[in-house]
Amino acid sequence: MSNPHAILSDIHRLLSSYDREEFLRASRYPGLGRAIKSALLALASEAPTGGLSSRDAVDKKPSEKRLTQSDQKPASQDERLPLAASILKSESGETIGSLRAFATKQGLKLQFRPKESKERLARRIAGALIDLPETKRNQALASLLGKVSTQTQGWIDVIKGSKS
């Protein structure tokens, strides 16, 4: 095997073993040179965001690994948080009841837990949304964004009302 192939093969092995968070953590390791840090950041941008941790990668059978990486892609904390924040800012995020109604309407298979906080439920909803197939996910996000925009629409009405 020529050197370039060996290098690329090693890089792909790294990318399949570690997720973005792990590369980012490594890039913050004290005392790293600038070039190595840049290389780790580049790997982070290429790595799967919600991928398996290295331990998962070692523990799981190859067939399980493939299935998890390609089909399920569990949403990472990084991915869920911004979406969860948007959900909470939307009208659907006003109460636990409205969050549950949104999740039910979107057909998300979530078990609602008693005494679960709004923030935690929003994070679980965000995770479930990210794990949806693309078309369904886009529909759900459009519905969510549609609701967020009522705030903008409300301000437009206020301004129009002020001018009239």
Partner 1 sequence: MSETIALLNMKGGVGKTTLAFNLAWYLYQYEPANVLLIDLDPQFNATQCVMDYKTFQDHRKNKGTIADLMIDQPMMALKSNKKIKKNPANALHNVAKSTSHRLDLLPADLQLAWVVKNPAQMDYRLEKLLEKLRTTYDFVIIDCAPTDSVLTTMALTASDYLLIPVRPDRFSILGFFNLMETIKTFRANCTDPHTVKVLGIVFTQVTSTSQVEKESMKDISTAALNENIHVFTNHLKYSTSYIRSIKDQTPIFQTLWAQEKPKSQVGKIAEELKARIQAAVTTSGKAKKK
Binding site for partner 1 (CB under 8 A): 81-82, 85-86, 89, 151, 154-155, 157-159, 162-163
Spatial separation of the C-alpha atoms in residues 86 and 127, rounded to whole Å: 13
**Min dist. Cβ of residue 147 to partner 1 (A):** 13
Spatial separation of the C-alpha atoms in residues 114 and 26, rounded to whole Å: 38
Q: Which CB sits closer to partner 1, 66 or 120? A: 120
**Min dist. Cβ of residue 59 to partner 1 (A):** 30
Q: Which CB sits closer to partner 1, 96 or 148? A: 148
**Min dist. Cβ of residue 153 to partner 1 (A):** 9
Q: Which CB sits closer to partner 1, 81 or 110? A: 81
Q: Tokens 């693309």 correspond to what residue?
A: 134
**Min dist. Cβ of residue 164 to partner 1 (A):** 11
Residues near 80 by Cβ (< 8 Å), separated by ≥ 6?
Answer: 123, 126, 127, 130
Spatial separation of the C-alpha atoms in residues 106 and 108, rounded to whole Å: 6
Q: Which CB sits closer to partner 1, 35 or 158? A: 158
Spatial separation of the C-alpha atoms in residues 62 and 64, rounded to whole Å: 5
Q: Which CB sits closer to partner 1, 14 or 148? A: 148
Burial string for 57-78 (b: 16+ CB within 10 Å, else e) reads: beeeeeeebeebbeeebebbee
**Min dist. Cβ of residue 1 to partner 1 (A):** 39
Q: How many Cα atoms occupy the beta-carbon half-sphere of 153 within 13 Å?
A: 7
